[in-house]
Structure 1
Amino acid sequence: MLKLVCVDDFYTAAKSKLTADGTWDYLEGGSDDQFALQQSRKAFQRYVVRPRFLRDVSTRDLSATILGKNVSFPVGVAPMAMQKLAHPDGECAAAMGAGAVGTIYILSTMSTCSIEEVANAAPNTRLWFQLYYQKDRNVNIDLISRAEKAGYEALVLTLDTQMIGKRRGNLRTPFNLPENAKLANFESSAGNDVNKMRDNSKPVRDMSVTWDVINWIRGQTTMKLVLKGILTGEDATLAVENKVDGIIVSNHGGRQLDCVLPPIDALAEVVAAVGKSDCEVYMDGGVSLGSDVFKALALGAKMVFVGRGVLWGLAVGGQQGVTKVLDIYRSELDLTLALSGVAKSCQINSACVQAYSPQ
């Protein structure tokens, strides 16, 4: 990995390892025409940094306070399913890699290492648990209680998967889990059947769920509650009214509805709607550089979560690959602070960036 100096280098290295079956299409692909996926990445080019000079940046502080606790820098790992597709150690290695750099790891409901396995493997990592709300309420109760018992700090309710997006690559080239893997948070009968869990004709997720679910969840757990997938000010306002602790502005990595705004472009509207409430705003989607993180923080995000880059690191080098990818994000963010005249990440604000229309 010594020659891999940016996140895109890990993309190339991971692709060479994972293209034998439908695995690469699943991990990397988006839905339909992949408009949302492509635009989420391109959108960062529509913002540029406004550097200020003759400022003391000899000492820089990248740390942040997220849900009342410290992280070493404001980049965490977004929830991603079935990480044993990328590496045999799966989510355990990824969580350990995140812990090694002092940041947050969000475990997916659809993980190939269980809630308990990840907690045991990464006891020093700040862990959040992402929930796909199921039709069977008892399944939700089980997942929530297990996560809280295992020490997870927050529950991340994903909002944008009433149905599974049309991912053409996987329709053309179906994939299967490795023989040593299953959906580890479910009973074995369901946990070995990925297609059953993704079947839109017989959905296992509850498509009738409304904002009333917030109060129900509050009755099940004392964990902090974060909503993932919000892209509008209207929903952000409802989130604040329902007293959630955080929002992740996200379009699900361009894997669900394909005709939506890039998260970085939706961020300002959500931040404005949240206003001065206690609800924290985070973002994921399209982040491939430390300078992208800087831009998101300037537009109001308190933290950025990254997905595919971490999976590429996992595929290339397991835990060490994840740590190196996160270290790249951190070093590039640090460099952007130094060259833009900002000494602390908490001092990044809207004056640090401006909109730009490349020719």
Structure 2
Amino acid sequence: MADKCICVKDFEILAAKRLDKNALDYYKSGATDEQTLKENCTAFKSWRFQPQVLRDVLNVNMESSVLGSKIAFPICIAPTAMNKMASHDGEIDSAKAANSLSTGFVLSSWATSSIEEITTNVPDVIRWFQLYVYKDKTVTENLVRRAERNGYRALIVTVDTPLLGKRYQDTRNKFALPSNLTLKNFENETTKEDGFPKGVKSARESGLAEYVASLIDPSLSWEDIDWLKTITDLPIIVKGILTAEMALEAVDHNIAGILVSNHGARQLDGVLPTINALPQVVKAVDGRCEVYLDGGIRNGGDVAKAIALGAKAVFVGRPILWGLACDGKRGAQRVLEILRDEFGVTMKLLGVTSIVELQSVHDLVIHESRILSRL
């Protein structure tokens, strides 16, 4: 089935027919009126290519690295929750897809496969762990220790979730995990009714919203990031930075990387689409830490625009879920292959043969407002 899909949109359309309403609405929805959800994708169209021609592009090298780990191309799998609603093996399928193509995978804290299961089933995958800071710091530290023991190479700390953004569809559906699934990293603490920790089920909200309200620390501050650095030597990437000011604060706290992200447009509606936020973050950081991007990537041209504007790599979320829903590991792998191949074609048509060249040639990608200002 995956082999019949030739672009990410094909996977999205097919996945919508295969997923039940509870899962589909959870995966696809954004916050409130979903302005930013739409703009995450459409904003890429306002960034225009200015290609070089008459360049030798016979051989193109897409290799890159993230925090010293070599990857075959700068497209990694973002942390997305509850992958087993999409395929039987869920996050294990996603990790296998990444490993088969020599790129990176991030496991969500709210995964339906555990930290240990990824290591057991896909021991060679380049893997990071996405972390929330919990009110009970012991819970957070235990997750960190498990990640360390199981060969995870970095922590991606989500910093834009003091509470869960309002998602209308999840509220309407009273979203809950299917009865056969749980948040595996917290399996001993969850109920059979909704898959979430005991005592958080509500008649008004989704189970996940109640879970976040009960356990996630809304007082999260830079002091907590500094605390994390005292308990682990793993590099820390902060996920959820959208402004130059916040990027400068991150640099002041000596983090290893910034993931420019608006949480898939699922937190605060009306924030900048990530591709529009990226240039100011890259400029502010000025090479003092690595910068990545997620949100709205739907084709290889989007990848090229993000890399040309300074991202070290991009992370894709929903497209991987669509792939899983269509054909498990093979579907997720095909999504990555399509994005990789489209990225390679885009590089050749831009007249560049390496990531370094893509980022160093002046004005290969510019905002259309600059073009219009010349007219």
Indicate the residue corresponding to 1:344 in structure 2.
354
Q: Secondary structure at the match of 1:105?
A: strand
Q: CA deviation at 1:351?
A: 1.8
The answer on whether the counterparts of 1:21 and 1:175 sit within 8 Å (CA) in structure 2 is: no
Does 1:223 find its partner at 2:234? Answer: yes
Indicate the residue corresponding to 2:323 in structure 1.
313
Q: Secondary structure at the match of 2:186?
A: coil
* Alignment partners' CA distance in 2, 1:237 and 1:337: 31
Does 1:355 find its partner at 2:367? Answer: yes
Q: Secondary structure at the match of 1:30?
A: coil
Does 1:243 find its partner at 2:254? Answer: yes
Q: Secondary structure at the match of 1:129?
A: strand
List per-residue Cα deviations over 1:133-179 (Å, max 9, x = no partner).
Answer: 11011100110000010000000000011111111111112333223
The answer on whether the counterparts of 2:69 and 2:126 sit within 8 Å (CA) in structure 1 is: no
Indicate the residue corresponding to 2:218 in structure 1.
207
Superposition misfits of 4+ residues, deviation over 6 angstroms: none
Q: Cα 1:201–1:334, aligned 2, differ >3 Å: closer, same or farther? A: closer
Q: CA deviation at 1:193?
A: 1.9
Indicate the residue corresponding to 1:153 in structure 2.
153
Q: CA deviation at 1:3?
A: 1.8
Indicate the residue corresponding to 1:2 in structure 2.
3
Indicate the residue corresponding to 1:44 in structure 2.
44
List per-residue Cα deviations over 1:306-336 (Å, max 9, x = no partner).
Answer: 0000000011111111110000000000000
Instruction: Give, as a single letter, the amino acid of the residue that structure 2 aligns with 1:264.
Output: I
Q: CA deviation at 1:109?
A: 0.4
List per-residue Cα deviations over 1:179-213 (Å, max 9, x = no partner).
Answer: 33100001433362265552179431011121111
Does 1:15 find its partner at 2:38? Answer: no
Instruction: Give, as a single letter, the amino acid of the residue that structure 2 aligns with 1:273.
Output: A
Residues paired across the two proteins, number: 357
Instruction: Give, as a single letter, the amino acid of the residue that structure 2 aligns with 1:238.
Output: E
CA RMSD of aligned residues (A): 1.6
* Alignment partners' CA distance in 1, 2:278 and 2:111: 28
The answer on whether the counterparts of 1:197 and 1:204 sit within 8 Å (CA) in structure 2 is: no
* Alignment partners' CA distance in 1, 2:13 and 2:212: 35
Indicate the residue corresponding to 1:144 in structure 2.
144
Indicate the residue corresponding to 2:299 in structure 1.
289
Indicate the residue corresponding to 2:168 in structure 1.
168
Counting aligned pairs with the same residue, the percent is 42
Q: Cα 1:298–1:345, aligned 2, differ >3 Å: closer, same or farther? A: same
* Alignment partners' CA distance in 1, 2:101 and 2:212: 42
* Alignment partners' CA distance in 2, 1:8 and 1:267: 24
Unaligned runs of 5+ in 1: none
* Alignment partners' CA distance in 2, 1:232 and 1:89: 37
Instruction: Give, as a single letter, the amino acid of the residue that structure 2 aligns with 1:291.
Output: G
* Alignment partners' CA distance in 2, 1:293 and 1:342: 14
Indicate the residue corresponding to 1:107 in structure 2.
107
The answer on whether the counterparts of 1:84 and 1:112 sit within 8 Å (CA) in structure 2 is: yes
More helix by share: 2
Instruction: Give, as a single letter, the amino acid of the residue that structure 2 aligns with 1:184.
Output: K
Instruction: Give, as a single letter, the amino acid of the residue that structure 2 aligns with 1:193.
Output: F
Does 1:335 find its partner at 2:338? Answer: no
Indicate the residue corresponding to 2:204 in structure 1.
none
* Alignment partners' CA distance in 2, 1:11 and 1:46: 23
Instruction: Give, as a single letter, the amino acid of the residue that structure 2 aligns with 1:122.
Output: V
The answer on whether the counterparts of 2:106 and 2:129 sit within 8 Å (CA) in structure 1 is: yes
Unaligned runs of 5+ in 2: 202-206
List per-residue Cα deviations over 1:84-127 (Å, max 9, x = no partner).
Answer: 11111111111111111111100000000000001111111100
Q: CA deviation at 1:14?
A: 0.4
The answer on whether the counterparts of 1:64 and 1:73 sit within 8 Å (CA) in structure 2 is: yes
* Alignment partners' CA distance in 2, 1:108 and 1:163: 17
The answer on whether the counterparts of 2:176 and 2:208 sit within 8 Å (CA) in structure 1 is: no
* Alignment partners' CA distance in 1, 2:69 and 2:187: 34
The answer on whether the counterparts of 1:163 and 1:200 sit within 8 Å (CA) in structure 2 is: no
Q: TM-score, normalised by structure 2?
A: 0.92
* Alignment partners' CA distance in 2, 1:239 and 1:176: 35
More divergent stretch after superposition (166-175 vs 281-290): 166-175
List per-residue Cα deviations over 1:217-262 (Å, max 9, x = no partner).
Answer: 1121111110000001111111111111000000000100001000
Q: Secondary structure at the match of 2:3?
A: coil
The answer on whether the counterparts of 2:305 and 2:365 sit within 8 Å (CA) in structure 1 is: yes
Does 1:322 find its partner at 2:332? Answer: yes
Q: Equivalent of 1:193, from 188, 193, 196?
A: 196
Indicate the residue corresponding to 2:31 in structure 1.
31
Indicate the residue corresponding to 2:309 in structure 1.
299
Q: TM-score, normalised by structure 1?
A: 0.96
